Structure 1
C-alpha cells in the first residue's frame, strides 16, 4: 500500500494534467484495489469534478 507522501506526489502530478476536468469514464483492472464493487466505484466517479481539490 502506498504511503501518504507518495499519494500526495501522484495527486500533484495528476492535478497538472487533469485538474478541473470531469470524469466521463473509468475502468477498474484490479478489483481488490477498491473497497466497493466495481460498479459502485465507477458509478461514484462518473461525473465527478474537481477530484483533486
Structure 2
C-alpha cells in the first residue's frame, strides 16, 4: 500500500512539473503557478509518507 501511495505522489509531482514547464513555454503564468503548487503538495505528501515509514506506521 505504501508503495502505491509513493508512486502516486511521484506521478502527481511529475504532472505538476509538466504543467509548470508548459506554462513557462506558452507564457501562461497561471498554469505555471498551478504546476508549482501541485509539486509542493506532492512533496508534502511524500514527506508524510516517509515519516510514517520511519516510525513504522
Q: Give TM class, smaller chain.
A: 0.3 to 0.5
Q: Which has the higher helix share?
A: 2
Larger CA Rg, structure 1 vs 2: 2
Pick 1 or 2: higher relative contact order, CA cutoff 8 A, min separation 6: 1
**With structure 2 as the length reference, what TM-score do the two structures score?**
0.34
**With structure 1 as the length reference, what TM-score do the two structures score?**
0.36
